Amino acid sequence: MEPGLEPNRRRELLRAAARLFVEKGFAATTTRDIAEAVGMRAGSPFYHFRSKQELLKAAMIEGLDSGLVRLLAAVDGVADPEICLRVLVRTHLGNLLEDDCRSPMLIYESRALDAADRAEVAAAFDRYQAPWQATLEQLAAIGRIDSAGPPKRLLMFGMLNGCSHWFRPGGALSVDELAEAAAAFVLGPQPSAQ
């Protein structure tokens, strides 16, 4: 079996790299750590990726795009923008905290990339943000939130992504409860009883 025709190993490397980059940070993770995590020898990751940076770039972009697929599937057919936001928040926290793809968190490692790679990652992050922006604009249009400007969206992502710094799965707080609290943060108090 020719090694280059085995796409599973590439994906395994990507998953292991994403997990380690989130846990330890890009600079503190060695390519040997990543190799060991998938049962390879020290030099072998470089058969699949030209450099450590390319591993990071691929993990970020493929993680964001696969997270976006989940986002779009979750809100498919949801008309009410308030429900839509709650679903986006819950799914995003799933991307961040539950699956082994914690790539939304990796954007903060962009500084390790050069300008060209950073631009590619920024494009993937824009794609990921698109459904959020649409929902926030709908919420602003019906007066449910006061503004959908950039500060609102960026503050929101900071709040959501920051969760992976302190949230521990299996603790007193469930992801569902966390999603509820986070959505309430964005939406403010309920305007009417439900």
Partner DNA sequence: CCTACCGATCGGTAGG
Element (H, E) at 157: helix 150-166
Among its own copies, DNA, none, what binds residue 168 when CB lies within 5 to 8 Å by partner kind?
A: none
Neighbours of 155 (CB within 10 A): 12
Q: Which residues contact 152 (CB under 8 A, 6 or more apart)?
A: 136, 145
43 lines the binding site for its own copies (CB under 8 A): no
Q: How far is the CB of 27 from its own copies (least distance, A)?
A: 4
46 lines the binding site for DNA (CB under 7 A): yes
Size of the site for its own copies (CB under 8 A): 35
Q: Which of 55, 51, 57, 64 is nearest to 9 (CA)?
A: 55
47 lines the binding site for DNA (CB under 7 A): yes
Q: Could you say which residues in the range 44-63 bind its own copies, by CB under 8 A?
A: none
29 lines the binding site for DNA (CB under 7 A): yes
Binding mask 9-28 for DNA (x = CB under 7 A): xx--x---------------
123 lines the binding site for its own copies (CB under 8 A): no
Helix-, strand-, coil-residue percentages of the chain, each rounded to 5: 70, 0, 30
- Compute the Cα dihedral for 43, 44, 47, 53 and give only its sign: negative
C-alpha–C-alpha distance, residues 175 and 173, integer Å: 7
Binding mask 56-95 for its own copies (x = CB under 8 A): ----------------------------------------
Residues that bind DNA (CB under 7 A): 3, 6, 9-10, 13, 29-32, 35, 39-44, 46-48, 50-53
